[in-house]
Amino acid sequence: MISNLEYFKVFYYTAKYGSVTRAAGELMISQPAVSQSLKQLEKSLGVTLLERSSRGVKLTGEGQLLYSYVEKGYEQIESGVEKVRQMQNMELGEVHIGASDMTLRFYLLPFLEKFHEEYPGIKVIVTNAPTPETLELLQSGKIDFGVVSTPFEKEKDITAFEVREIEDVFVAGRRFISYKNKMLDFQELEKLPMIFLENNTSTRSYMDEYLAQEGVILRPEFELATSDMIVQFALRNLGVGCVVRDFAAEYLESGMLFELRFNRMIPKRAFSVVRSSRQTLPEAAKRLLEIMEIEL
């Protein structure tokens, strides 16, 4: 361990300017203070670092050797301080976010755009993963916060904040036009060719569970990886798709798809911002949540 780092700072400035008086000026202390510090340093190292003369100081061999190291070391620390300052000023930094396709596309994207515009120095790193995996990333500290869709198993020290509602809907194209505006029973779905998301998604397991509870067991014709693809399949009349409404919104409006209606409401779900309550957020993450109007 180095005895007194302050001495090295004094030495750094003295060597840099070749003058005790000048160093004192830079350090904003008196000249004798510098002289004494240098003396202390030399004493503690047991070596003469500077040749004193009436027109300044000059490094000895040992002094030169030491200075070559101290110079690099001190400036390294100095630039570390500068980097932290930049981070504080949001000129530098990273925000790690976990989000699913869905939350990213229909909720997060505009905020990220705005954030990036305001703070171009901050890297935004989005890890695209389904809800349970996102929660794991949060627990392990790999992301600052996540945006997931309900429902999910909320473990303790996870703070959740719902930001908007989403609805799961069944949509179909003209081949199934006879079902339009009819009040249907969920049972009737069993007779129709269904297009669903794959099993590993929260949307799928939510629907599976809900329908099972209603006594309906579906065996989808198609199991696709993305909601977009489901919409495309539905448009081509390959079956009845189950997606969050936002994915189909455009086509529902234009009439190319219609929404099936049921005699029972599918309980609404929500997008939820989740974060670890035991971890303080980096400034950049805080600022992004502010933009998203999430109270911390």
Partner DNA sequence: TATTTCACATAAGTTGTAATTATGCCACAG
Partner DNA sequence: CTGTGGCATAATTACAACTTATGTGAAATA
Q: Contact, 271 vs 148, CB < 8 A?
A: yes
Q: Does 65 bind a copy of itself (CB under 8 A)?
A: yes
What does R_g of the chain's alpha carbons equal in angstroms? 32
Q: Does 282 bind a copy of itself (CB under 8 A)?
A: yes
CA pair distance 231, 294, nearest whole angstrom: 31
Restricting to residues 96-115, which ones interact with DNA according to CB under 7 A?
A: none
| Rounded least distance, CB 160 to a copy of itself, Å | 21
Interaction partner, residue 39 (a copy of itself, DNA, none; CB < 5-8 Å by kind): DNA
**Does residue 146 sit in helix, strand or coil?**
strand
Q: Does 25 bind DNA (CB under 7 A)?
A: no
CA pair distance 89, 92, nearest whole angstrom: 8
Q: Does 81 bind a copy of itself (CB under 8 A)?
A: yes
Task: Identify which range of 40-48, 98-106, 116-124, 266-274 contacts a copy of itself by CB under 8 A.
Answer: 40-48
CA pair distance 184, 190, nearest whole angstrom: 12
Number of residues that bind DNA (CB under 7 A): 26
Residue 59 or 211: the one with the smaller Cβ distance to a copy of itself is 59
Restricting to residues 276-295, which ones interact with DNA according to CB under 7 A?
A: 278
Residue 19 or 103: the one with the smaller Cβ distance to DNA is 19
Q: What is the sign of the dihedral through the CA atoms of 132, 134, 139 and 145?
A: negative
User: How is residue 278 written in tokens?
Assistant: 């035991």
Residue type, 222: F
Tokens 């000023």 correspond to: 89
DSSP secondary structure code for residue 240 in this structure:
E
| Rounded least distance, CB 213 to DNA, Å | 32
Restricting to residues 51-70, which ones interact with DNA according to CB under 7 A?
A: 52-57
CA pair distance 151, 102, nearest whole angstrom: 14
CA pair distance 16, 4, nearest whole angstrom: 19
Residue 93 or 173: the one with the smaller Cβ distance to a copy of itself is 93
Cβ neighbours of residue 74 closer than 8 Å, sequence gap 6 or more: 8, 9, 12
User: How is residue 162 written in tokens?
Assistant: 């719902």
Task: Identify which range of 22-30, 67-75, 82-90, 261-269 contacts DNA by CB under 7 A.
Answer: 22-30
User: How is residue 266 written in tokens?
Assistant: 């599918």
Exactly one of 157, 185, 279, 290 binds a copy of itself (CB under 8 A); that residue is 279
Interaction partner, residue 9 (a copy of itself, DNA, none; CB < 5-8 Å by kind): a copy of itself
Q: Which H or E element spans position 184?
A: strand 183-184
Chain residues in the site for DNA (CB under 7 A): 4, 6, 18-22, 29-33, 35-40, 50, 52-57, 278
Chain residues in the site for a copy of itself (CB under 8 A): 1-2, 4-6, 8-9, 13, 26-28, 45-48, 51, 53, 60-62, 65-66, 68-70, 72-81, 83-85, 87-88, 93-94, 278-280, 282-283
